[in-house]
């Protein structure tokens, strides 16, 4: 079955951390890289984050540039990419900014999670709740995105658990990794990739680029 082109996007410290354990989110890159991420968002059909990222960061996941949104509309595409999240439990805050900004949204969950989400009021005209069965199935999720929602390019912005699962299932086509010039060093802080069985062999480096004081690496 055809699947979307899956692009993982993340910024990490030199020692592989996504954040520290402080009360505020650690900003690993700067304005120029944020603009690059906005450009990538504008190029895709959907943006996906996990439930942990929703809870920790409360992101909006928007294309911020009015020019890029206008270009999408001129090409006959929605002004904003579809926003997607994944939660086995369905325990998501209906007040999160994810639900109340941008255009269409989809949440993939289990049968039990779907019941909880519908009871919470998350399901609406703009939010599609998709139950995948008793357990989450990444391949089934990607097939549904491709075949039912028409997603051809999917940008995955985190968190580390999602990145790890997709890589270990060999469902990733591209990794865009931004390396920030700092160390975190806190074993309690979240890391980008967890332990497990990954694909063998070396990835193919297709681009390196300095952006202010960070480095973008595309594999």
- pLDDT tens for the 219 residues of the chain, in order: 899 999 999 999 999 999 999 988 899 999 999 999 999 999 999 999 999 999 989 999 999 999 999 999 999 999 999 999 999 999 999 999 999 999 999 999 999 999 999 999 887 889 999 999 999 999 999 999 999 999 999 999 989 999 999 999 999 999 999 999 999 999 999 999 989 898 788 999 999 999 999 999 999
Residues comprising the chain, all counted:
219
Q: What gap in Å lies between CA 162 and CA 49, rounded to an integer?
A: 8
Q: What is the pLDDT of residues 5-52, one digit of tens each?
A: 999 999 999 999 999 999 888 999 999 999 999 999 999 999 999 999
DSSP labels, 131-171 = E-SSS--HHHHHHHHHHTT--SEEEE---HHHHHHHHHTT-
CATH number for the domain harbouring residue 116: 3.40.430.10
Domain count for the chain: 1
Distances in whole angstroms, Cα of residue 75 to Cα of each of 61, 134, 203: 21, 39, 33
Q: Which of 192, 200, 132 is nearest to 161 (CA)?
A: 192
Query: For the chain, what percent of residues have pLDDT higher than 90?
Result: 89
Strand arrangement of the beta sheet that strand 153-156 belongs to: 127-131, 105-109, 82-87, 46-50, 153-156, 5-12, 174-179, 214-218, 207-211
Estimate the crossing angle of helix 66-74 against helix 31-43, to 10 degrees. 10
Domain range enclosing 178 = 5-218
Q: What is the DSSP letter of 12?
A: E
């Amino acid at each position: 079955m055809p699947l979307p082109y899956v692009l993982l996007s993340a910024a990490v410290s030199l020692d592989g951390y996504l954040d520290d354990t402080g009360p505020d989110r650690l900003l690993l890159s700067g304005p120029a890289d944020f603009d690059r991420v906005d450009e990538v968002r504008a190029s895709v059909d959907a943006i996906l984050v996990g439930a942990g990222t929703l809870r920790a960061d409360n992101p909006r996941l928007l294309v911020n540039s009015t020019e890029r949104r206008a270009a999408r509309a001129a090409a006959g595409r929605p002004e904003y990419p579809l926003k997607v999240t994944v939660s086995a439990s369905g325990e998501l805050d209906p007040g999160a900014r994810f639900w109340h900004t941008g255009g269409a949204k989809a949440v993939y969950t289990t049968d039990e999670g779907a019941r909880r989400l519908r009871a919470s009021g998350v399901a609406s005209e703009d939010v599609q709740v998709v139950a995948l069965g008793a357990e989450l199935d990444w391949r089934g999720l990607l097939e549904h995105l491709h075949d039912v929602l028409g997603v051809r390019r999917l940008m995955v912005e985190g968190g580390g658990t999602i990145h790890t699962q997709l890589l270990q299932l060999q469902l990733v086509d591209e990794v865009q990794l931004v390396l920030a010039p700092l160390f975190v060093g806190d074993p309690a802080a979240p890391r980008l990739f967890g332990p497990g069985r990954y694909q063998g062999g070396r990835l193919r480096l297709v681009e390196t680029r300095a952006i202010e004081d960070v480095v973008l690496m595309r594999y």
